[in-house]
Structure 1
Amino acid sequence: MGLVIATTNKPTASIDDPELSLRWSARLSLTTRILAVNILAIALLAGSLFYLDNYRDELTHERLSQARLQTKIISDALDRQTPENREDLITKFATDLESRLRLYDDSGAKIVDSFDLAEPTYRFRDPEAQPWQKDVARTLDQSIEFIVLSAPITAFAEPEIDQVSAWPELELLSADQEPNSAVRYAPDRTPVIIAAAHVPSGNHRLLLTSNARDITRIVRAERSNVVLVIFLTALVSVLLSLFLARTIVRPIRKLARAAVRVRLGRAPEITVPRMPDRRDEIGQLARALADMSGALRYRIDATEAFAADVSHEIKNPLASLRSALEGLDRVDDPELRKQLLDVANDDVRRIDRLINDISEASRVDAELARTKFEKVDIGQMLDQLLAAREQRDTNESVKIAFARPGRGVATIMGDDDRLERVFSNILDNAVSFSPEDGLIEILATPDAGEVVIQISDTGPGIAEEQRQNIFKRFHSDRPAGEAFGKHSGLGLAIAKTIIEGHEGTIKSIDRPDGQKGACFEIRLPKAPAT
């Protein structure tokens, strides 16, 4: 049992774990954070809309390449035909390719146009005559092009005087140059593919144009599918987020209100809901808080009762001692004075014995507060500890190699948190003593009825005569150059106390491979088979 020496109404300073603190999201509720995380994932999915812009560019580039090849083939075919057969050949090619073909002579004048020879193979659509959905699609196209910084594409317009000088693709084309191509936008923002080639015979030039509306149709269809998927995903995500927030936030609020009632102490018996039906972390938290509040109430009651008993026990010898000391001033008889001094000395010894008994009782109370042991998989626990240290960059430049045992092979009965503190203290020491880019090796193996854990480093090692002293309280032997006061010298002492509390042993030995460095060997009783 413990003793309350004094109480104060001043608030105590809180020590917050910086790893658990929140910065920019500190004022947001848990529900808002859950929604924000899920909506962010949906926003990343929406990024696929921008990928469709690249997909459209790839389709356009492929179509331009095809157009150059087509004009090359057509120009070679025209070069082998007589002038009388050229018009028929141009008409056939234009019909088959759903394009418009124009032929210009060496002076730059147009001499053949497939649209004059047959029905046009395509017609530009008037945006004003199209439904509003097309206006929305064009606006979305322009918005995405602006966001992804697409190269601007000029609008297509038929020249008033159709000759070579009106087409940059033809005007820049030389006799020995390969066909070139370009893309422009029709009035409805569908791509117009333009390709030009040189026809050697007669120094003519060939121009191919086609309205590739299928590219826009494909991209917009895919975009509609993606938008639909994003909408449905967002709807489901929001509903699931609200459900998740409700299952988390409501019980936490209930536990918080119970914790406040416990803190205020306005009722003699305050019950914290245990939530036995929940097997998740919230249920564990509820049961832990219920156990904690019960233990707290027990300790408070025990402390109050113990303080009353101590006050009562000390009051009598103190009253006797005060009476004896006050009587010394009024008594002149030496014999009587001697009796009063004997009484005072006896009261002092009695108070001393009471204080010693109180101290012993406090130690017994601490021992009775030990945690009930449960099965602990050392391999799994070390895996989690090393992952946490790696995430926090606790190991600095030192590497840690862990030969993980099979699941259930290295299992003991113990307190997981306290054992984790033991290994964390040893690893902290190993890291501080290891050189830069050093190596720490961890080995956990079963040995008869024990689990043996060895942690070896590549530091300077521990002298033989110091291997017992390092486990003493406040013993501190730190690396050269380390600032004074960073370690209390209690880490290994605490580790030894915890290991011995688990009926195990811990000691410093030579490295098994004979190399330079320290090695800590921990032996713990193996858990009985189920």
Structure 2
Amino acid sequence: MNLFAVLMLAGGILYLDSFRLRLLEQRQSQLQAGAFLVAISIENDSPADLRRQMAAASIQTGTRIRIYDRSGERIFDSWALTGPTYRLRDPQTEPWQFRAARTLDRIIEGAGGADPIPYLDLGAPDRRQTFAEAETALRTGRPASGLRRAPDRTPMIYAASPLPNGDVLTMSTNARDITEVVRDERQTLFFIFLGVVGLSMLVSSFLARTIVRPLRRLALAAQRVRLGRSREVTVPRFKKRRDEIGELARSLSDMTAALRMRIDATEAFAADVAHELKNPLASLRSAVEGLGNVTDAALRGELLAIVKDDVARIDRLISDISHASRLDAELSRAMFTPVDLGDMAHALVALYEERGLDRGLRILMEAPESGGAIVMGDDSRLAQVAGNLLDNALSFSPEGGAVRLRVARTGERVRLIVEDDGPGIPSGAEEKIFGRFYSERPEAEGFGQHSGLGLAIARAIVEAHDGTLVAGRATAGTGARLEAVFPAIAA
């Protein structure tokens, strides 16, 4: 804005200078034509008529008319009859404002690159030879004109036209009005410039208050977050702003809150990992220390079995922890495609039956025909969700029990439901079971056979697919019910 005001002022000043030059050229042409017309009109006049006509023309046009004979001597001067029709001002007696205006005129004309105009020599003799345009008119036989500056830098315009008898007629005038018009317009332009500068300062202040300062606050907060100080950083939300900066502030605030949650989750996950690894490591260390003190073969065999189980448990924990830690990154890179959950469930159940189910367990499945339960997602991750839910249900089902897997579409949702005949979920633990390393296993099951990450991983995958995973009581019996709900798409 400030640059625009300066450019506007510079452009306006240069335009006014070109406007001044055009006015001078136009006035020169007019005076030259006037001199030619006067010269024609007096060709056959008597001396008395000539003097009367010259005096009238001088008063009417505000000019000084002079005639020079062949030798260059002045033989007629209209001012001798009418008195001066214009007056030249002494710059030494003018107020300081005029001196300042003349200085500004010089600067602008110099900046505009205008050709210099010679000053009028008031001390030169009043002869034809003093005026170059008169000499040119006499030599060429055609009217000519020229420019000079008065002592106060106002333009003096001269025009000359040859007479048939060899004399030369000259007309001169002081075009002070052109200088005054240009100065008035320049003053108006300066006031406009001041107004634009004031407006630009107000706009700049407004922009600084409404854009620059809020952005600086957001940048400072983001910088502190980048330096690892996210815990004590409060990112302004600008709740009253409904523009893009307000949206940016709230997005940054939400992002910072999500980052804090992620940091907290990472810290909690690291603490949980350390805690979960300590138990098998402590058991392993006790068994190894006991091996050095036990000589009984049967007891040593039991200790070696404990060592083997603990190593297997640690291996399982590390594998599950590795999968869980990579889950978010892999889901962010996954390419979602249409997946038929019904077909996927059929294939998964067939795979389980092919491998064989322990303890006489069965999987009862209900799913729509192909194309009836399509969602957008990663097929391998969705299969992992169904597999984790089935594994969990099978582990809790009693011998000879059944696990029910049902896929159904209701409206704009596709539901994947797994129910078992186990003891069910303890009251108040419906959300706890989705926590990392949560384990509430059947008493008959050996300790440490599950890492407690299966349901946590399943919920993370479901939520990455814009779905929900909830737990509850089975519709029949006392078993558990796990239900994953996904947005459906058209077949």
Given the two structures, how large is their TM-score scaled by the length of structure 1? 0.57
Contact 1:156–1:184, Cα closer than 8 Å, also in 2: yes
Given that residues 255 and 272 in structure 1 are in contact (C-alpha distance below 8 angstroms), is that contact kept between their aligned partners in structure 2?
Answer: yes
Q: Is the 8 A contact 2:231 2:260 kept in 1?
A: no
Q: Which residue pairs with 2:107 in the alignment?
A: 143
Matches within 5 A, 1:9-408: 38-47=1-10, 48-174=12-138, 176-200=140-164, 202-255=165-218, 258-259=221-222, 271-321=234-284, 342-362=305-325, 364-365=327-328
Write the letter of the residue equivalent to 1:193. Answer: I
Aligned-partner SS, 1:203:
coil
Aligned in 2, Cα 1:176/1:262: closer, same or farther, shift over 3 Å?
closer
**Structure 1 residue 61: Cα displacement:** 0.7
* Alignment deviations for residues 338-366 of structure 1 (CA, whole Å, 9 cap, x no partner): 66665444444323322332233235545
Q: What is the alpha-carbon distance in structure 2 between the residues aligned to residue 137 and residue 112 of structure 1? A: 36
Deviates more, 1:159-168 or 1:107-116: 159-168
Indicate if the aligned counterparts of 1:42 and 1:233 stay in contact, CA closer than 8 A.
Answer: yes
Q: Which residue of 2 aligns with 1:422?
A: none
Return the alpha-carbon distance in structure 1 between the equivalents of residues 303 and 174 of structure 2.
122
**Alpha-carbon RMSD:** 3.4
Residues 336 and 98 of structure 1: CA distance in aligned 2, closer, same or farther (over 3 Å): same
Aligned-partner Cα distance in 2 for 1:502–1:205? 101
Q: CA contact under 8 A between 1:175 and 1:203: conserved in structure 2?
A: no
Amino-acid identity (%)? 48
The count of corresponding residues between Structure 1 and Structure 2 is 340
CA distance in 1 between partners of 2:297 and 2:69 (Å) = 148
Counterpart of 2:67 in structure 1: which amino acid? L
Distance 2:322 2:139 in 1: 108
Structure 1: stretches of 5+ with no match in the other structure: 1-37, 371-413, 415-499, 504-524
Does the residue aligned with 1:79 lie in a helix, a strand or coil? coil
Per the alignment, residue 355 of structure 2 pairs with none
- Which region of structure 1 is more displaced relative to structure 2, 212-221 or 153-162? 153-162
Matched residue SS, 1:172: helix
1:303 counterpart letter in structure 2:
T
Shift of 1:250: 3.8
Contact 1:109 / 1:164 at 8 angstroms: preserved in 2? yes
Give 1:262 shift: 5.2
| Higher normalized contact order (CA 8 Å, seq sep 6+, divided by chain length) | 1
Name the SS of the counterpart of 2:268 in structure 1.
helix
Match of residue 517 from structure 1: none
C-alpha displacement of 1:78: 2.1
CA positional deviation for 1:269: 6.4
**Cα distance 1:362–1:192, how it changes in 2: closer, same or farther (>3 A)?**
same
User: Structure 2 CA distance, aligned partners of 1:264 and 1:155?
Assistant: 72
Which has the higher Rg, Structure 1 or Structure 2?
Answer: 2
Runs of 5+ unmatched residues, structure 2: 334-375, 377-463, 468-487
SS in 1 for 2:60: helix
